[in-house]
Structure 1
Amino acid sequence: MVSGHRPIGDTEKAVQAKLGDTPVRRQQMAAVAGIYRAAATVRQHFENSVLRTVELTWTSFVVLWVVWIRGETETRRVAEEAGISKGTLTGVARTLQGRGLLERTTHPTDGRLALLALTPAGETLMAQVFPQFNAEESFVTGPLSDDEALDLADLLRRIVVQVETHGEDRRLELLGGQDPRPRRSGRRPKV
């Protein structure tokens, strides 16, 4: 069990007790809850094991991974592929630069754009840590056969494609065509 989390069976019972006969699409609710819980559990496991040994967060590893795979890349593309905001990328990139793992340069033809590339130390770190990371990928998917792992990857990919393809239209529909309000931290405004 992940520290601070209820066992999944307890959570499922609590949801059933709370919702009772409320008309909801339970299978879809279970799927999305499972995606979230699996993602959070896997991320926490990786950060507390293989990534802890090299002092990386999940996000910093993903940024290094994107640049390692893609080579020198514009910052906006790195942020998009890592699934983070440009502001978050700025902080992560600064930290990785400070550790000598990443370098930031100005785009040669458009001074408004910046490029990220791994340093030799960053290349060495990724070559060292990725096999360990992949071993943990094998550990967390251990209960699945190779075919089941591929089926799961395909199902998750279909969900990603659904949101990437139709999510913007759905957002506009739900918000009545309006832009979303700025995100809030959850704190109440100071009086």
Structure 2
Amino acid sequence: MSGHRSIEEIEQAVRAKLGDLPLRREQMAAVAGLYRAAAAVRQHVENSVLRGAELTWTSFVVLWVVWIRGEPETRQVAEEAGISKGTLTGVARTLQGRGLLERKEHPADGRLALLALTPEGERLMARIVPEFNAEEVFVTAALSDDEAEDLADLLRRVVWQVETRGAERRLELLDGQDPPPRRSGRRPQD
């Protein structure tokens, strides 16, 4: 048997481990479910539709943002894709190398750059978006259309909470200080 445990088994293990800690378990279950669902959907789509197009989830999201927006600035693409500007640089270079994306100088400000799909990128998106949507339908097949819309509304509310109050909350948790820079996970060398 594999090491895979069901959601129920994991939730049971969490309840056993946490015991009497004063926690809001419903909210914990909601966030854990949100994370697990997002990871499961991402893995499924990457291993099906995106694999055939030789795309990662992140590269698809970058193409999607550019496809929808036309010729957005790189900083807008990074923000909407939920990635750092450094990550966008690497993804954009890869997509440029594949002939799917091009980088253009901003007409009004030479310090800024725009991204645009190439004709090949446009053709890829026109082909893959219906395939991607078919998998969106597959992963939500256990929900009615009304339940899917309710779920989308609930998730919008979670996003709204983080986007409108998250910065304030982070400052509160960090005693008014900006968060320290992210570390790579490596230990500092002596």
Which runs of 5 or more structure 1 residues have no equivalent in the other structure?
none
1:107-154 deviation per Cα after TM superposition (whole angstroms, max 9, x unaligned) = 011000000000000000000000000000000000000000000000
In structure 1, C-alpha distance between the alignment counterparts of 2:97 and 2:177, rounded to whole Å: 40
In structure 1, C-alpha distance between the alignment counterparts of 2:55 and 2:11, rounded to whole Å: 33
1:95-174 superposed matches below 5 A: 95-174=94-173
In structure 2, C-alpha distance between the alignment counterparts of 1:186 and 1:35, rounded to whole Å: 25
For 2:58, the equivalent position in structure 1 comes to 59
Give the ranges of 4+ consecutive aligned residues of structure 1 lying more than 6 Å apart after TM superposition.
Answer: none
In structure 1, C-alpha distance between the alignment counterparts of 2:3 and 2:87, rounded to whole Å: 26
For 2:81, the equivalent position in structure 1 comes to 82
Seq. identity, %? 80
1:14-47 deviation per Cα after TM superposition (whole angstroms, max 9, x unaligned) = 1011001111000000000000000011000011
**Which residue type is aligned with residue 42 of structure 2?**
R
Give TM-score scaled by structure 2 length. 0.97
In structure 2, C-alpha distance between the alignment counterparts of 1:6 and 1:71, rounded to whole Å: 43
In structure 1, C-alpha distance between the alignment counterparts of 2:106 and 2:142, rounded to whole Å: 46
In structure 2, C-alpha distance between the alignment counterparts of 1:91 and 1:10, rounded to whole Å: 39
For 1:69, the equivalent position in structure 2 comes to 68
**Which residue type is aligned with residue 149 of structure 1?**
A
Q: 1:189, CA displacement in angstroms?
A: 2.0
Provide the aligned length of Structure 1 versus Structure 2: 189
In structure 2, C-alpha distance between the alignment counterparts of 1:5 and 1:186, rounded to whole Å: 26
Q: 1:181, CA displacement in angstroms?
A: 1.2
Which runs of 5 or more structure 2 residues have no equivalent in the other structure?
none
**Which shifted more, 180-189 or 102-111?**
180-189
In structure 2, C-alpha distance between the alignment counterparts of 1:187 and 1:6, rounded to whole Å: 30
Secondary structure, counterpart of 2:104 in structure 1: strand
In structure 2, C-alpha distance between the alignment counterparts of 1:11 and 1:157, rounded to whole Å: 26
Secondary structure, counterpart of 1:40 in structure 2: helix
In structure 1, C-alpha distance between the alignment counterparts of 2:171 and 2:155, rounded to whole Å: 24
Secondary structure, counterpart of 2:90 in structure 1: helix
Question: RMSD value over aligned CA atoms?
Answer: 1.1
Secondary structure, counterpart of 1:190 in structure 2: coil
Give TM-score scaled by structure 1 length. 0.96
1:79-119 deviation per Cα after TM superposition (whole angstroms, max 9, x unaligned) = 11111110000000000000000000110110000000000
1:12-51 superposed matches below 5 A: 12-51=11-50
